[in-house]
Amino acid sequence: MKRDGGRCQWVRADTHRKCLQPATDVDHILNDAAGGTDDDTNLRALCTTHHRWKSSHEGGQASGAARRAKRDAAPKPLHPGLVADKRELEPPPF
Ligand SMILES: [Zn+2]
């Protein structure tokens, strides 16, 4: 926070300039789940708005990753037309 002068270090995508609003939070640039550390190089000051935006965006990514992991772990249901049932391979009883 001291290093960043108490100002938000978020770089706006439209102007490519830092937000520079008074910072309220210290952000992990690379979050814990992604292997980020508490090292100074991974920390920056952010205003409430940008920290909330980033955190909610990361939350969405995390739940998306969890959803994908769950989907990939579950066996894919076969299309009914592709299900090979033993009974279907035997001649009909008439
Ligand atoms: Zn900001």
Q: What is the mean pLDDT of each run of 10 residues along the chain (94 residues)?
A: 97 94 96 91 97 87 80 77 64 68
pLDDT of residue 48: 97
Ligand 1 centroid to residue 54 C-alpha, Å: 10
Q: The tokens of 45 are what?
A: 């000051």
Q: Which residues pair with 44 in a beta bridge?
A: 27
pTM score, two decimals? 0.65
pLDDT value at position 3?
Answer: 97
Distance 33 CA to ligand 1 centre (A): 23
Give tens-digit pLDDT for 69-92.
Answer: 888 887 777 777 776 665 556 666
pLDDT of res. 80: 74
Domain ranges in the chain?
A: 1-72
Question: Measured in angstroms, how far is the CA atom of residue 11 from the centroid of ligand 1?
Answer: 8
Query: Is the distance from CB of 44 to CB of 7 less than 8 angstroms?
Result: no
